[in-house]
Amino acid sequence: MLKKFLKNIALVLFLNLLIKPFWILGIDRSVQNVVGTVDYGFYYSIFSFSFLLNIILDLGITQFNNRNIAQNNHLLRKHLSGIIVLKLMLGGIYFIISLVCAFIIRYDSLRVMLLVVLAFNQFLISFVLYLRSNLSGLHLFKIDSFISVLDRTIMIVVCGVLLWGNLPITFSIRWYAFAQTFAYLVTAIITLIIVFKKAKAKFLKLRWNLPFSLLIIKNSFPFAILVLLMTFYNRIDSVMLERMLPSASAVKPELHSGEMQSGIYASAYRLLDATNMIAFLFSGLLLPLFAKMIKYKEKVVDLVRLAFSMLFTGAIIISVISFFYSGDIMHMLYPNISAQILAESSTVFGMLMACFVPISTTYVFGTLLTANGNLKQLNIMAGSGMALNIIMNLFLIPHFFAAGSAFTSLVTQFSTSLFQIILVQYIFKFKVNYRFLMSLAVFVAGVVLAGFASRKFGFDWKTNLLMMAAVSGLLAVALRIINFRSMFNIIKNG
């Protein structure tokens, strides 16, 4: 399993590092600069709102299916038709509930129209993720790796033409949403064809089977609750910012308006999203591997340590760099914003990027607990995290705006990740490796010291940043947290 993990994580990291940084830094950043902070904040708050109800589209089916197919490959053909019909029905329910909720919180016609497009996008994303769960459940990681970057590749082409193709149109946030629709739709069709072929069915009969659907919902319901609760404490911040603070048309200066603060939060969170995409790939690969190893009672400790070491090392380096160079990075990405917005964005960015450390931890330990079926404990953790997040936001947003939400996220993420680490140790009873823990502590201290020292170097900030990253990487190798020789031996010899 270690060999399979390393070979496939190398491929998926290569593909995603090839495509997604350009998407985030080239396309998404350009859209934010073209449409402006207020318009992008308007879009992002509605996007987050559509994401909050995303669980209705899935009800935990994707995670349940990933684990189930990994342990029972023969069920793919049997379950495929019934689950697709169920997903279509859940999509209709999701649309209705989204529109009702939009009416309740008094969305105007412009917001509702954008919500309809983004809701359809969410359905397509959910459908693709379900289809991909079949591929990863069958351990077809190479195919899944290419599918994971297909939508972004298409969007880069489409948005690139819209932004820089000298078309006789004025680019607006609606074109951005429509480009996503096209990319997700094409990806869904291609992935469906691949999964259909792997199921070895001559044609797909879509049949509604009530007992089957109820059984799937019953089995996946604990996963649904977990996803719902975690989605809320990860995505509700921008919605609360936009709803709790006054509208840009009702407050001067508009810096403290809901749209502006949501836009400031979004500009920083999008970069956290970019790094999370990489960490999320580990989770998608680890879940079926853990599930199969647990079924056959294989030891998981070596895979846990390997995955955690790789993610933790990168997370610490990225988070500390983001803290020391937050102002420089945000100014490079958004050169046209005012000094006041830059100052607020930099503060929010520094705190949000620190969340990458606990989030990366969750992608290892939370995934292990999910594969082991510890959904009750995880749901208690996620429910507590959601409550903590909402309560802190209610108190901090009116006084500290986007920075208050960023601090809330930091506290919530560290609290929930610590809970998962303790729970894994309690259930699996791993032997505590004090030497490894000491190496981690020395590594964190060393990276922080490298950050302080790099600000004193007499070069431009980009050179200083690269030197700090290089020193941090060498420190991880010197402390044997990252052991390339061991990894090569695993790939070569298994």
Distance separating alpha carbons of residues 226 and 224, to the nearest angstrom:
5
Mean pLDDT by 10 residues, the chain (494 residues): 68 76 78 79 82 78 77 72 84 91 84 90 92 81 84 89 79 87 94 82 64 77 76 75 73 68 82 80 81 84 89 94 93 83 90 93 91 89 90 91 92 94 92 92 96 89 94 93 71 55
For the chain, the maximum distance between any two Cα atoms, rounded to a whole number of angstroms, is 69
Distance separating alpha carbons of residues 125 and 144, to the nearest angstrom:
14
Structure tokens at 281: 């790939």
Q: Given 3-state DSSP classes, what are the helix, strand and coil percentages for the chain, each rounded to the nearest 5?
A: 85, 0, 15
Instruction: Based on DSSP, count helices (H) and strands (E) in the chain, helices before strands.
Output: 19, 0
Cβ proximity of 388 and 415 under 8 Å? yes
Cβ proximity of 200 and 192 under 8 Å? no
Helix, strand or coil, per DSSP, at residue 418: helix
Cβ proximity of 293 and 71 under 8 Å? no
Other Cβ atoms closer than 10 A to 463? 12
At 355, give phi and psi (nearest 5°). Answer: -65, -20
* pLDDT value, residue 139: 76
DSSP 223-287: HHHHHHHHHHHHHHHHHHHHHHSPPTTTSSSGGGSHHHHHHHHHHHHHHHHHHHHHHHHHHHHHH
Annotated domain spans of the chain: 2-431
CB-neighbour burial class of residue 116 (10 A; exposed 0-12, middle 13-18, buried 19+): middle
Quote the DSSP letter at residue 430: P
Q: Where are the alpha helices (DSSP H) in 334-374?
A: 339-354, 356-371
Helix, strand or coil, per DSSP, at residue 109: helix
Give the CB-side neighbour count of residue 332, counting CA atoms within 13 A: 12
Closest CA to 483 of 221, 306, 347: 306
**Which H or E run contains 117?**
helix 109-137
CA pseudo-torsion sign 221, 417, 147, 8: negative
Residues 6 or more apart in contact with residue 205 via CB below 8 angstroms: 81
* pLDDT value, residue 206: 65
Closest CA to 82 of 208, 203, 201: 208
Say which residue the tokens 């308006």 belong to: 257
Closest CA to 61 of 44, 35, 80: 80
Cβ proximity of 144 and 135 under 8 Å? yes
Integer-rounded Cα radius of gyration of the chain = 22
